[in-house]
Amino acid sequence: MLGLFSYNDTFNTMKKIDSDITKAATLQAKFYTSENVFKDTLENIFAKNWQFITDDSKLKENRSAFPFQFLGNLLPEPLVLVNNEGHINCFSNVCTHRGNLLINEPCTIKKNITCGYHGRQFDICGKFKFMPKTEGMQNFPSAQDDLAEIAVAKWKQFIFASLAPNFEFNELIKEVEERVGWMPIETFQYRKDLSKEYSITANWALYCDNYLEGFHIPFIHEDLNAVLDFNSYDVEIFKYANLQLGIASDKDICFDLPKNSKDYGKKIAAYYFWVFPNLMLNFYPWGLSVNIITPISVNQTKIQFKSYVWDESKLNSGAGADLHKVELEDEKVVQQVQKGVVSRFYEYGRFSPSMEKGVHHFHTLLSRFLDVQTKK
């Protein structure tokens, strides 16, 4: 029997994706269309894995605070990042007295974090310090009165958080660091004018599926195909990430690699890293495009392209030249697939063993984490 998801809408009968890609089938169509599956995915994939939050430009000063909601309105957990002598902490942004939001906009904490409702105060480490009119209260204060501390991590200038991480952050990012850590990424400058936001009518995972294979490039991306050597396409699979190497065609721009690089001697036009579950780190000779894929509903997705420039003179050359055009081409086909997976005549597909290793890896991780939850 083919290795695939087999479940009702609450995953009660889920089976894992077969680890052998030559035998495996893709996710069932219900994964992309079921409201119940979508809700389970939010709780068991997004809440329990690492999410890109922001860069450190919003937290440069000591005692600066940056409030945010984890995964927007879908997992509306109010959190706040705090710079404590250069160390970034993440806390619940909810007062432990009556649930009021503590910090509503980026600010600098002068002395304590003070609730504007009844005056309860917390120090910069999230510990309860003071509240008026507490005389006579028994067993007070307790650990319950401190702010909950949330898992947070920083790589280069980028900050990540997780509500209940399934694994350590280093397991997520170590292969990225090993491969491109030679670049001065901390010096890359964010460019708002080059950054964009898109909205598509498709499930978030369909967008990731499309990103994770170069199989479609000759059919969908004529200009991109002209600057990449399609015959050299390959994917490297890591534990919680994977890498597609973009090899430049003969005369197109590529990285000037250091001799200690694993890829020294290759004409690398782009490093396309996918980081589980919904982050893409695309390195080009001009810099980095950070792509964050955020589900809005079962068939609506927000895509953010954040551009960090290293060498502006290379912005209009090679594989990273016209990301907007490539994005629109991708969006068109992904939205067509969303319309297709609702068909009663489509249940699941099969993987190309040579071209869809990245998609198989993604589906395997999804089935693994969702299956673990249903067995509890």
The token pair at 179 is 């491969």
Residues of the chain with CATH 2.102.10.10: 51-162
Residue 313 identity (one-letter amino acid): S
Whether the predicted pLDDT of 11 surpasses 60: no
Q: What is the pLDDT of residue 1?
A: 40
Which of these ranges, 7-16, 124-133, 146-155, 309-318, has the smallest mean pLDDT?
A: 7-16
Phi, psi of 121 (to 5 degrees): -125, 145
What is the rounded distance in angstroms from the CA atom of residue 118 to the CA atom of residue 145?
14
Name the pLDDT band for 33 (thresholds 50, 70, 90): very high
CA angle 186, 190, 195 (to 5 degrees): 140
Contacts of 31 (CB under 8 A, 6+ apart): 5, 37, 203, 205, 366
Q: What are 136-148's pLDDT values in tens digits?
A: 999 999 999 999 9
What is the rounded distance in angstroms from the CA atom of residue 97 to the CA atom of residue 75?
22
Query: What is the pTM assigned to this prediction?
Result: 0.92
Q: What are 68-127's pLDDT values in tens digits?
A: 999 988 888 999 999 999 999 999 999 999 999 999 999 999 999 999 999 999 999 999
Is 51-162 in CATH node 2.102.10.10? yes
Which stretches of the chain are assigned E, i.e. beta strand? 51-55, 64-70, 77-84, 87-92, 107-108, 113-114, 121-122, 128-130, 149-155, 158-162, 189-200, 234-237, 241-247, 268-275, 279-284, 287-297, 300-309
Q: Token pair 């551009």 is at which residue?
A: 307
Average pLDDT of the chain, as a whole number: 92
Whether the predicted pLDDT of 3 surpasses 50: no
The residue among 214 and 272 whose pLDDT is bigger is 272
Percent helix, strand, coil in the chain, to 5, is: 25, 30, 45
293-304: average pLDDT: 97
Residues of the chain with CATH 3.90.380.10: 184-372
What is the rounded distance in angstroms from the CA atom of residue 65 to the CA atom of residue 321?
36
| Widest Cα–Cα separation across the chain | 79
| CATH no., domain 184-372 | 3.90.380.10
